[in-house]
Each structure stands twice: as C-alpha cells, then as structure tokens.
Amino acid sequence: MAQQEAVITEEMIRGLKYRIEHQVPSRAVTYPATEESLVRFARGYGDLNPLYRADLDPAYAKTTRWGGLIAPPMLMTAMQIREREKARELTAEERELGKGGSLPGIHGFYSGDDIDFFQVVRPGDSLTARSGMSGFVEKTSKYAGRAIHITNETVYTNQKGELVGVARSLTIRAERGSAREKGKYGDISVYHYTPEEWKAIEADYEREEVRGPKPRYWEDINAGDQLTPVIKGPYTAFSTMCLTVGMGGPPGFLGGVNAEAHQMRRQHPGAFSMTPYGFPDNVGRVHWDNDMAHQIGLPAYYDYGGERICSMAHLVTNWMGDDGFLRKLDGQFRIFNFYGDTTWVKGKVTQKYVRGSEHLVDIEISCVNQRQATHAVGHATVILPSRVHGPVVLPSTPDRHITFV
C-alpha cells in the first residue's frame, strides 16, 4: 500500500500560531567546544586556515592576535542545525489540542540565515543555545504550491554568560506530493563535465587564497574590490558525510540509527517515508539518496543549506585575514545545489564606513554553479583593523531586539 502524502492543514496552522503567541521555546542545549570539535568542524566544510586547524599547524594560532586556536565563526550554528525542530516536550493537553506546530510529514528546506556574531569561541568554552519560532507566513511557491515560511531565532551564550551570537534561520515547509506533481526541476539532470571544464575547476582551486597572518587594513579597502572566489564541489554524498561529522552528529530532525531511529519513528512518524524496498527511512536522505529526491520532485539529492552559509563565511574569513572579525552574515538559498554541482562563492565590497570604534566593510556574496545559475546570495559585514586606530575591538551589545534569551 502506498504511503499517503501529508498535506498542510488548518490544524497545523493553528499549532504554529500557538507557538508564536505563547513563545514556546526549544529546550536549552549546551555544546562543549574542544580542540577536536573545532578542527572537525573546519574540516567538515573544507577550510584550510590553520587558525582553525591545529592539525595543519599546531603552533600557528599561538602567533596570532588571538593567542591560540579559535573556532570558525559558523561553529555555533552547528548546534542550530543539530537541534532545529526539536521543540520542548509538550504537555498532554497541548498534544491533544494539536499545538505542537511541528507540521508532521511536510517536507522542510533550510532556506536562509541572518546571523550576528559577538565573540570568538575557543577550546574549553561551553555554548548554550536557546531558540524558538519567531514568526511564519503562508506563501504560494512555483515549486510546491502552498508553503509555510518559518523563522526561528537561536541565541548563543558561553559559560561566562556572554552573548556569542544570534541566528535567525528560515525554513520552508512544502507538500512533497505537490512538489513532485509540479515538476519545476524536470529539465535539470546531473551535470556531465568535459575534461576542459574539470581542468578549469582544478585551476580555480589552486587560486584560492587564505589571507591569514597578513592584516587587511580598513584604509586599504575600496568599494568595488573583488574577493578571491572560494570553490566548493562537485557536491557529493561524501560532502554531506563530512559536514555531518563536522557538526558532531546528524541534524536534530534526522535523529539517530537503530534503537534511536525506532524511538523516533514512534514519536515522529512523519519524519520517515517508505523506500521502494518496503522499509521506512528518514526523509533527511534527500541529502544523499536520489530515490528520496525523486519523491519530492527533484532530479538528484541536494546539499544542507548549512553548508552554503558555511561557504559564504569561508569566503569572507579567507579574505579578511586572522586580524578581522566577521560581525554579520546573511544568506538566502534560492534554488537547490544538486549532486555533481560545483559552486563558485564570489564576493564584492559594496561600502566601508565607521560606526563608533568599529571600522566596517560590507560585502555582497553570490554562489554561482557550473550552469551559471545563482543558487544563493548573501551579505557580510566585517570589522577590520585600522592603520590609524589599531586592532579590532569585539562588539559588546546587540543592535536589534532578541526574543529568546
């Protein structure tokens, strides 16, 4: 018997409204930062900066302004990815009223981030994440018809109670059956590279530049400056495996394996669908299984959105050097990044300015694939050292409202 496809219902909408009105938070999650976890995360998205990679040069980080190893900025969001959709345990009354707001069986696409950074993370730090749904809107998409765009806010603090960062993530929930019927991506297939194209990709990898110990001073920057692109891909299932290991485990909505998977199937049956072979498997396999991708109207499996925001951060940290500080980063993931796709992450300086003691540079970012399609766009703000006013001073207070603290 074929598995019935879930559809978005008014009961689901009421559940979402309940979570917004009552600001139902996820449980607080604490994540210890170790040298191993920092290195593993940087390796997970292919960062070669020894400031984050003690395995490449154990002594290097001690020579920098930080005096030791620090985490890539996006490490904190590994918690966000792992714990996304894990709301706190509901009461029996809330479950009966259908107020979980979890949209069981409605496929989710991690589709964007808007992040503020305030502190660096070092080995020995302990990060705590508190999050909740901050808003949602109903939309109609060309890909799947009716869709729900959900915004979650996650606040990260360290063991000292200091604010490390705030991430506002966008998840799009859409009906699998409708997506398959509409067939928006029906004219796309796995890309076949010519020998010349592959040679050009390898050459672009050789041109990547890690600024590292050479300061990039604010006074030397001009609007219109181009950043040296970072290359990602071709995307494969192994890319997903590496990022998953780097995050310290699978995203929260994927659960685990064996007995843990059995428990999750009982608690969240909508997170599983039947394979062609008569057994259920986690819907997260859209990131490594073409059969599941076909069930939602896609030609091949696709990447985690979290990998693309890591790629944007990678571009900026390569460019700013070890003396700079990534202050803000946002990204929108517009189309899918499929198996076999290669991405050129590009950036351009749009303006420079001073705010208080901060010497800031804004950067426009785009992710372009081998088909010349832009699959993601974003913006970054960097604090750079000044030749006149000295090194970067870390920001102390947020400049916008935080809901879940």
What is the C-alpha to C-alpha distance for residues 308 and 128, in angstroms, rounded to an integer?
23
CB under 8 Å, gap of 24 or more: what pairs does 11-14 form?
Answer: 11/98, 12/98, 12/101, 12/103, 12/106, 12/148, 13/138, 13/148, 14/98, 14/99
Instruction: Give me the half-sphere count of Cα atoms (radius 13 Å) on the Cβ side of residue 378.
Output: 30
Question: Do 76 and 156 form a contact (C-beta atoms < 8 A)?
Answer: yes
**Encoded tokens for 257:** 């394996």
- Judged by DSSP in three states, 290 sits in helix
Query: Which pLDDT tens digits describe the chain residue by residue (405 residues)?
Result: 345 678 888 888 888 888 777 776 666 788 899 999 999 999 999 999 999 999 999 999 999 999 999 999 999 887 655 554 444 444 555 444 444 557 877 877 888 999 999 999 999 999 999 888 888 888 887 777 788 899 989 999 999 999 999 999 998 888 777 767 776 787 899 999 999 999 999 999 999 999 999 999 999 999 999 999 999 999 999 999 999 889 887 766 677 889 988 988 888 787 788 888 999 998 889 899 999 888 888 999 999 888 999 999 999 999 999 999 999 999 999 999 999 999 999 999 999 999 999 999 999 999 999 999 999 999 999 999 999 999 999 987 787 778 766
- Cβ–Cβ < 8 Å for 163, 154: no
**The residue count for the chain:** 405
In DSSP notation, 156-207 reads EE-TTS-EEEEEEEEEEEE-HHHHHHH-TTTT-------HHHHHHHHHHHHH
- What single-letter DSSP state applies at residue 144? T
Q: Which residues pair with 353 in a beta bridge?
A: 360
Task: Give the tens place of pLDDT for each residue, 187-199.
Answer: 899 999 999 999 9
What domains does the chain contain, in order, with CATH numbers? 7-33+71-187 (3.10.129.10), 188-250+304-398 (3.10.129.10), 252-296 (no CATH)
Cis peptide before 73 (omega within 30 of 0): no
Give all strands of the β-sheet with 325-333 in edge-to-edge order. Answer: 29-32, 126-141, 145-157, 163-174, 107-117, 325-333, 374-383, 358-369, 343-355, 226-232
Query: pLDDT tens digit string along 270-299?
Result: 778 888 899 999 888 989 999 988 888 899
